[in-house]
Amino acid sequence: MAVFGHTPLTRLANRRLTRMVGRGRGPSFIRLLTVTGRRTGRPHTTPVVPVVRGADRWLVAAYGEVGWVRNARAAGVVTLSRGDTAETLRAVEVGPAEAVPVLRAYRALRPAGWVVRSHLAFGPRSSDAEIAAVAARHPVFRLVPR
């Protein structure tokens, strides 16, 4: 599966966001996702924008099957943090039916969804069936308290 969006500019922006959010600064909707590497056993951290719908939270892989996705599948556990606050959660990958409303909500997020919308394999007018057909290209994880 192709990896989209990891240009030198994206990597630089992620490094800066990681430093800022780690200090509790930067956009309030961004969290740091830390997950243990499936091969190295070392923690890897990247900025993410969780989708929040009511009491439920999800992570969406807008850029496809990137490293954090493979690591989250292997570990089953992730940590979300911002500044001095951190929580460890189970990450449960969901199927297309459950992913559709989450993917739709992610695309609609402002400004976060706007930044990645060109990488998403569906548009704002896509039907649920069209989104479900491409859901595997954008893995979605439900975050569950441990």
Q: What is the pLDDT of residue 113?
A: 61
Q: What is the pTM of this model?
A: 0.89
Report the alpha-carbon distance of residue 98 to residue 93 in Å, rounded.
Answer: 10
CA 54 to each of CA 73, 100, 131: distance values in angstroms, whole numbers, following the listed order: 24, 16, 22
Report the alpha-carbon distance of residue 96 to residue 40 in Å, rounded.
Answer: 30
Q: What is the pLDDT of residue 1?
A: 33
Question: pLDDT tens track of the chain, all 146 residues?
Answer: 334 456 788 778 888 989 999 999 998 999 999 999 999 999 999 999 999 999 999 999 988 999 999 999 999 999 999 999 999 999 999 999 999 999 999 998 887 666 777 788 888 899 999 999 999 999 999 999 98
User: Is 143:100 a contact under the CB 8 Å cutoff?
Assistant: no
Q: What is the pLDDT of residue 3?
A: 40
Fold (topology level) of 8-145: Pnp Oxidase; Chain A (2.30.110)
Question: What DSSP designation does 42 have?
Answer: -
